[in-house]
């Protein structure tokens, strides 16, 4: 199999590979947390806050990170896309717009949910966080050792179950049974979560394909076209911006970095340096153009030629000498 064939295959499975990589990294991070960072306080009320914090807070952070590091999120909310969207209302029905918007949001959310759902599932299958959070609420009505204890004393003893060194010897068997039951609840919840997510993903894929106006082969062609267009567009952007930047740099310094046989160079004035220094903000020039940098704004103002000095052949040869 040739390299191009392998590259094409990997590119066609880019979404699956990305989601798999995110899931594996999340599993590895959860295992590191469980070994090095998690230590149940074994105290009434503290167990609940501590356990739920380790279950929910990392999942929330991973969800936010999934939105932040998704390029489609910023494509949706950056610039004047909203006003452009409203202008399209005169030419397209609102129903189609809302369908497209919902489709994009669902796609972004689906990818963002990979890491937090993986965290929740692995955490529940592990069971340690769940045992810590809910140990003080375990049902022990059938054990005689708790018969003479008040509700507060019972919760205090149950809260110490995740810490074997705090459990009296006569309660060790009860502690083992309670922890086993809590692990059972946690792991069953984890498998139920995995089953629900799997069913939702499968039904979503089926519904998306069923409602698609494209045939299977036409959809494959569309995906290939979009990938190639993005790749070629990025190459054109890099080359176009480099050429555009070189024109402004040449205007400022009087030569280009790769120029040969430089005859003269421009000496920027103090005002020139002041105009191109400072915070770089995108500034609108008019309805059609904007300044991409301070150097671009300086060049657009058509400054005077400034001071030029001639370069002798010896200095030019030193400049062009290889490192």
DSSP per-residue codes, 176-228: HHHHHHHHHHHHHHHHHHHHHHHHHHHHHHHHHHHH-SS-HHHHHHHHHHHHH
pLDDT at 119 over 60: yes
In sequence order, the β-bridge partners of residue 261 are: none
Nearest to 48 by CA among 162, 147, 126, 154: 162
CA–CA dist 118, 59 (Å, integer): 9
Q: What is the pLDDT of residues 33-89, one digit of tens each?
A: 777 777 888 988 899 999 999 899 999 999 999 999 888 888 888 764 445 544 545
- Dmax (CA) of the chain: 102
Cβ within 8 Å of residue 300, ≥6 positions away: 285, 291
Mean pLDDT in residue range 107-127: 91
At 307 the three-state DSSP class reads strand
Mean pLDDT in residue range 8-33: 73
CA–CA dist 158, 276 (Å, integer): 67
pLDDT at 90 over 60: no
Percentage of residues in the chain having pLDDT higher than 70: 85
For residue 16, what pLDDT is reported?
73
Nearest to 283 by CA among 304, 300, 303, 302: 300
Strand blocks (E) in 263-314: 264-267, 283-284, 290-291, 307-310
- Would you say 72 and 104 are in contact if contact means Cβ atoms under 8 Å apart? yes
Helices and strands counted in the chain (H then E)? 14, 4
Q: What is the pLDDT of residues 233-289, one digit of tens each?
A: 999 999 999 999 999 999 999 888 888 888 888 898 888 898 889 877 777 777 778
pTM for the whole thing?
0.75
Percentage of residues in the chain having pLDDT higher than 90: 28
Average pLDDT of the residues of the chain: 82
pLDDT at 322 over 70: no
Structure tokens at 171: 């309660």
Cβ within 8 Å of residue 181, ≥6 positions away: 138
pLDDT at 323 over 50: no
For residue 194, what pLDDT is reported?
94
CA–CA dist 19, 115 (Å, integer): 8
pLDDT at 304 over 70: no
| Helix, strand, coil percent content, the chain, rounded in steps of 5 | 70, 5, 25
- pLDDT confidence of 92, banded at 50, 70, 90? low
pLDDT at 229 over 90: yes
Nearest to 298 by CA among 316, 311, 280: 280
DSSP per-residue codes, 113-152: THHHHHHHHHHHHH-HHHHHHHGGG---TT-GGGTTS-HH
């Amino acid at each position: 199999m040739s390299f191009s064939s392998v590259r094409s295959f990997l590119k066609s499975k880019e979404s699956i590979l990305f989601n798999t990589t995110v899931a594996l990294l999340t599993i590895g991070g959860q295992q590191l947390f469980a070994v090095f960072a998690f230590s149940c306080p074994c105290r009434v009320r503290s167990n609940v806050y501590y356990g739920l914090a380790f279950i929910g807070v990392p999942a929330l952070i991973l969800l936010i990170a999934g939105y932040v590091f998704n390029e489609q999120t910023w494509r949706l909310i950056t610039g004047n896309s909203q006003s452009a969207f409203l202008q399209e209302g005169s030419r397209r029905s609102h129903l189609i717009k809302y369908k497209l918007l919902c489709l994009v949001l669902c796609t972004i959310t689906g990818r963002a949910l990979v890491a937090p759902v993986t965290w929740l599932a692995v955490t529940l299958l592990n069971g340690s966080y769940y045992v810590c959070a809910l140990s003080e609420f375990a049902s022990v009505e059938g054990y005689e050792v708790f018969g003479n204890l008040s509700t507060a004393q019972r919760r205090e003893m149950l809260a110490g179950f995740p810490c074997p060194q705090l459990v009296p010897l006569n309660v060790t068997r009860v502690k083992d049974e309670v922890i086993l039951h809590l692990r059972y609840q946690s792991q069953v919840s984890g498998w139920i979560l995995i089953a629900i997510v799997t069913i939702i993903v499968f039904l979503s894929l089926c519904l998306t394909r069923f409602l698609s106006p494209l045939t299977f082969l036409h959809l494959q062609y569309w995906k290939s076209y979009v990938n190639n267009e993005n790749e070629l567009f990025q190459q054109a952007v890099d080359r176009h911006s480099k050429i555009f930047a070189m024109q402004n740099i040449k205007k400022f310094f009087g030569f280009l970095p790769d120029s040969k046989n430089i005859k003269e160079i421009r000496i920027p004035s103090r005002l020139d340096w002041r105009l191109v220094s400072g915070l770089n903000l995108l500034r609108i020039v008019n309805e059609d153009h904007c300044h991409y940098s301070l150097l671009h704004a300086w060049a657009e103002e058509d400054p005077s030629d400034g001071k030029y000095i001639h370069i002798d052949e010896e200095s030019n040869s030193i400049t062009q000498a290889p490192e």
